[in-house]
Structures are given as structure tokens and as C-alpha cells.
A and B are shown apart, each in its own frame.
Chain A
Amino acid sequence: MSLYNNDIHLGSSLSTVEILTTIVLKFKRDGSSEDKDWLILSKGHAAPALYAVLAEKNLIPTNELWKIQDINSILQGHPEIFIPGVDMSTGSLGQGLSFGVGVAEGLKMSRRNGRVYVIMGDGEQDEGQVWEAATHAASMKLNNLISIVDANGYQLDDATEEIKPKHYLPEVWRAIGWNVVHCDGHDIISISYALENGINSRKPTVIFAKTIRGKGLPLIENSKKQKVNNGDAEE
């Protein structure tokens, strides 16, 4: 996609591909409304990765992918609910978890079995609203809520540790009352184990998925770079 459009968040999309693939193709149930699962890409800037996975599931035509951000394409720079397979319009960081808490509680009240997956960035943890939501979810013991932190170590301006340290976050989530799990965010088996753990938990679960920003493209791998220039994109 970045060959056709150099304006996508390539690095942070690549760090989250395996997480999205595992959830969408292996875990997410799309059946009747009784057990429909929800997927919220709170780090909406990874939309290209989501669209690619939704195309694998035949929810989006593959040839639409190359038109991302085109004025005539349904594929917006950030997810919108009018795109098939998208459960929440996102793009503004910090809001996905709150919405997920509302969905999870709504499902419970309606006695539905759906689970809610919320994918956030590690930089996104800077948003105060994440903590408003995390504390509320724990107090309501929402065990149908699983959030995944794509810990790629970078945010827009620099490495996350340079901007504001994040290494202590798992301890904070645990202290609040969440089931905290770690996994390798590029290993589908590791991600699957972590998700199974979350599904069987009696508390809400947060999975810290260690990832590499720009995974698979050495020119931008593990850096804050989002783009390869058109020549380099041949990689």
C-alpha cells in the first residue's frame, strides 16, 4: 500500500499486523448478534494493517487496498464504521478503551457472549482517558474485555522511553486490577496463548505485545521512521 501511497503510518501498521491477523482470522466471532465479538483499533493510524487483514477475510476487495486515502475510496486514513468489518470509528487516541468498556458492559447487560478486543499503542498510554477507562473496567470486572498494547517502543516524535517512560505500565495495570499478560507480538502462537489466557480470565485482561516498529522493512525497522521513499519501497 505504501508503494501507492506514501502517506500511511507504515511503521506502526507493520508492528500490529500479526496481532490483527490473529484476532481477526483466528479469534473474532462474526456469527449471530448473540456471540458477535468486537474489534476496536484504538490506534487508528494502523488502519492500513487492519484493511489488509479485512481483505484477507474478503470483507474488503483486495484491489481497494491500493486506493487507500484516495478521494473515491471507502478506505479512510483512519477507520470509519462505514468500512466493512470496522466496529468503531477511531483516529483520536485514548478513546477506544472507553468505548470498549461501554460495549463490554452493554453486551453483559443484554446477556450476550461477545468479547471486546481493543488494540492500543504504547504511546497512546500517555492519554489520561486510558486510565479513566482502565480503572472503570476493573471496578466492573469486565472479563469479556481484552486490550492489547502494541508495544513497539516508539511514538510520533521519538522512542517512547525518551518521551515519557513506559516500562512500569504493566505494574500499573496490575495494580488497578487487570490480568496482565505478555507476548511476542510478531509470533502468532505467542499472541494466541495470550488471548486464550485473556478469554479464560475472570478479570479484564491487558496483553503487552512486544513488537518492532516497521517489522519486515529493514530501512525503517525499529525506528521512528514511518516512510520509505519510493525507491526504497522496493524492499
Chain B
Amino acid sequence: MREAFGRIISELGDEHKDLMVLTADVGNSTKAVYFREKFPNRYFNVGISEQHLIDFAAGLAATGKLPVVAGFAMFLMRAWEQIRNTVCRMNLNVKIVATHSGYSDYNDGSSHQSLEDIALMRVLPRMKVVVPADSWEVRRSLPVILREPGPIYYRIGRDYSPPITESFKYDFKIGEATVLKDGSDLVIIGAGVVLWDAIKVAEKLEQMNISTAVIDMTTIKPIDEKVIETYARKTGRIVTIEEHNVIGGLGSAVSEVVVKKYPVPIRMVGASDFGRSARSQRELLDYYKINDKSLMNASLELLRLKS
């Protein structure tokens, strides 16, 4: 996914003359460095200083520039207060591209893995939170993100990117979810690479004559209340899946809508602890049970509840 980000942001530099790419010594790791090859004068490496990075971007934005900050999700969180007090309070046009989110930095272990960032960003007034499912959705959404005014947190992974949305044709719009599969007995709502598992489970449930919808909730804030309400009414059961702590993440965001619009039982699949090192992101998702098996168990549990 970082590869897609690096390539696409470099393409967008021609169209957006004020676009600047900023990083804190992770230009190679985030692939932000691709932008430097084309636009060396609009690329800044501020050194290993994330707090300064965010406020430097805020200052650039205040003069009318379009700064895109690229960094590891985890280490951008040490600038949470800068994001809150300067970027969001002043409603500045700063785009924060957080790579290596979730377990995607599988080898580095828990210090580098970000399982709390959606909660931390979602709570901030004026901040929008976007989580593309795969590289194809990065291509669809990144140009839209740059045209949308105000602060946006754009959460991507590292390299693992199964083809979730590749075969789909739709335009990405902020605040609009994508129905990847329709269904009437159960809905699985997910964000990010874990939607791969959601689609697999939906197919299996379908073979068991359980009509299962899958929704790609790319924008976690502002969340698509309409699609959530529609599917809560239609299916009466919701399972969420996220590569993030279940506290404050996508599952929480969906629940906040459901309790208000049309209360139905919900099960949340996600993390509840820090991660660890492994050989791959996939291995970690299975190790922490954020996968098709957990989705299947949660789905069957909900189906038993109501029948």
C-alpha cells in the first residue's frame, strides 16, 4: 500500500502545484521519497522530529500550501497534541498519511505497530479519518483526499494488500461506504486489509444459505450513517472487523450509529492488546484472531441469538 501511496502522490504533484510532501526521516520507508525524485523543491525531511513535523506542516498550510505528512502511524501519534491543538483547532489543510498501521510492521514488533490511532484521531473535532482497503482504493481515494479541505488522517499499511476492491468500479466519496456484497441475513462491516477475510467468510456463509452483506467502511469519520442504518434494518445483525483495538475503533463508531438509529446486536472482531513480532502481517492477524475464523464464529453466534 505504501508503494501505491508513493507512486500516486508523485503523479498528483503536477496537478497540485502547492502540494508538498513532508516526512520525519522515513521517506524511504513510507515511499514518500518517490515524490522527491520528481519534485525535489517540494519535499522536506525535517529529521526525526514528529511533533515539529506536524506543526511545520500546519505553518505551511496556513500560507496556502497543501502539505501531505508521511510517517509511521505509531510515531505520528506522539504528535497527537500538535494535531489537536494546532492542526484541528485551526482547521488547517494538513493531510496526514500514516503508513505501517495495524500489524503491517510485523517484524518490528509492538513498539512500531499502531492499534490505537483510529480512536485517537476519530475523537478530534474537524478531523476526518479514511482507511483504504487496498492499493486500488488508495488510487481511487488519494486524489479525492487532496481536494477535500481540512485535516484528514489517511491510514494505510505497508506491503500486504490482498485484492479486495480491484474488480470493483466505483468512485470514492468521503463519508460514503461501498457495499462490496449485498445480503439480507447478516452484515459484516470492515475497514482496511481485513475486508479480505470478510469477503471469504461471506462466501462461505452464502454456501450455508446465509445471505451476507459486506461493507467497506473506508471513511470512518464522518461515518456513513445511512448505509449502517439501512443494513441494520435489513439484516438485524452486524459484525465488525478491524486491524485496530476494538475500543474506540470502527466497531465503536458503527455501534454509536446503531444505538441511535436502529439498535441490533453487534459483535466486534479486532485487537485487545499490543502486538508482537512475526514473519508476516498475515501471521499476526491469524495469531490475534482477527481473521475469517473469528468472523465466522461471531456471525454464527449472532445468527443463533435471533433464530
Which A residues have a C-beta under 8 Å from some C-beta of B?
Answer: 80-81, 87-89, 91-92, 94-95, 98-107, 109-110, 112, 128-129, 132-133, 135-136
Tell me how far the C-beta of B299 lies from the nearest C-beta in chain A, rounded to whole angstroms. Answer: 45
Query: Is A136 a contact of B49 with CB atoms below 8 Å?
Result: yes
Query: B57-78 interface mask toward A, CB cutoff 8 Å, 1 = contact, 0 = none?
Result: 1111111110100000000000
Measured CA separation A92–B63 after assembly (Å): 21
Query: Is B62 a contact of A95 with CB atoms below 8 Å?
Result: no
Known: A88-B90, A129-B51. A105 touches B85 (CB 8 A): no
Tell me how far the C-beta of A89 lies from the nearest C-beta in chain B, rounded to whole angstroms. Answer: 5
Query: Is A102 a contact of B58 with CB atoms below 8 Å?
Result: yes
Measured CA separation A128–B55 after assembly (Å): 13
Task: Give chain B residues whose Cβ lies under 8 Å from the Cβ of A91.
Answer: 85
Task: Give chain A residues whose Cβ lies under 8 Å from the Cβ of B62.
Answer: 87-88, 99, 102-103, 106
Known: A101-B59, A106-B59. A136 touches B86 (CB 8 A): no
| 18 residue pairs A–B, Cβ–Cβ below 8 Å | A89-B86, A95-B85, A98-B54, A98-B82, A99-B55, A101-B59, A102-B60, A102-B63, A105-B59, A105-B60, A106-B59, A107-B63, A109-B41, A109-B65, A129-B55, A132-B46, A136-B47, A136-B52
Give 18 A-B pairs besides A80-B89, A105-B56 with Cβ atoms closer than 8 angstroms.
A88-B86, A94-B51, A95-B51, A95-B85, A98-B54, A98-B55, A98-B82, A99-B55, A100-B59, A101-B56, A102-B61, A103-B62, A106-B60, A106-B63, A128-B51, A129-B49, A132-B47, A133-B56
Which B residues have a C-beta under 8 Å from some C-beta of A?
Answer: 41, 44, 46-47, 49, 51-52, 54-65, 67, 81-82, 85-86, 89-90
Across the two chains, which residue of chain A brings its CB closest to B85? A92
Measured CA separation A156–B63 after assembly (Å): 33
Measured CA separation A158–B47 after assembly (Å): 33
Query: Is A102 a contact of B89 with CB atoms below 8 Å?
Result: no
Across the two chains, which residue of chain A brings its CB closest to B79? A129
Measured CA separation A100–B58 after assembly (Å): 9
Known: A106-B62, A106-B64. A89 touches B55 (CB 8 A): no
Tell me how far the C-beta of B59 lies from the nearest C-beta in chain A, rounded to whole angstroms. Answer: 2
Query: Is B63 a contact of A132 with CB atoms below 8 Å?
Result: no
Measured CA separation A128–B82 after assembly (Å): 13
Task: Give chain A residues whose Cβ lies under 8 Å from the Cβ of B90.
Answer: 81, 88-89
Measured CA separation A56–B86 after assembly (Å): 27
**Cβ-neighbour of A136 out of B46, B58, B64, B89 (below 8 A):** B46
Task: Give chain B residues whose Cβ lies under 8 Å from the Cβ of A81.
Answer: 90
Q: 3 nearest interchain CB pairs?
A: A102-B59, A106-B63, A98-B55
Across the two chains, which residue of chain B brings its CB closest to A139? B47
Query: Is B59 a contact of A99 with CB atoms below 8 Å?
Result: yes
**Cβ-neighbour of B59 out of A103, A128, A129, A132 (below 8 A):** A103
The listed residue with most A CB atoms (<10 A of its CB), out of B44, B59, B63, is B59
Task: Give chain B residues whose Cβ lies under 8 Å from the Cβ of A98.
Answer: 51-52, 54-56, 58-59, 82
Task: Give chain B residues whose Cβ lies under 8 Å from the Cβ of A92.
Answer: 81, 85-86
Query: Is B55 a contact of A95 with CB atoms below 8 Å?
Result: yes
Measured CA separation A136–B54 after assembly (Å): 13
Across the two chains, which residue of chain A brings its CB closest to B82? A95
Task: Give chain A residues whose Cβ lies under 8 Å from the Cβ of B67.
Answer: 102
Tell me how far the C-beta of B137 lies from the nearest C-beta in chain A, rounded to whole angstroms. Answer: 30
Across the two chains, which residue of chain A brings its CB closest to B59? A102
Tell me how far the C-beta of B159 lies from the nearest C-beta in chain A, rounded to whole angstroms. Answer: 30
Measured CA separation A81–B47 after assembly (Å): 29
Task: Give chain A residues whose Cβ lies under 8 Å from the Cβ of B60.
Answer: 102-103, 105-106
Known: A98-B55, A106-B60. A132 touches B85 (CB 8 A): no
Measured CA separation A107–B62 after assembly (Å): 10
Task: Give chain A residues whose Cβ lies under 8 Å from the Cβ of B44.
Answer: 105
Across the two chains, which residue of chain B brings its CB closest to A40? B59
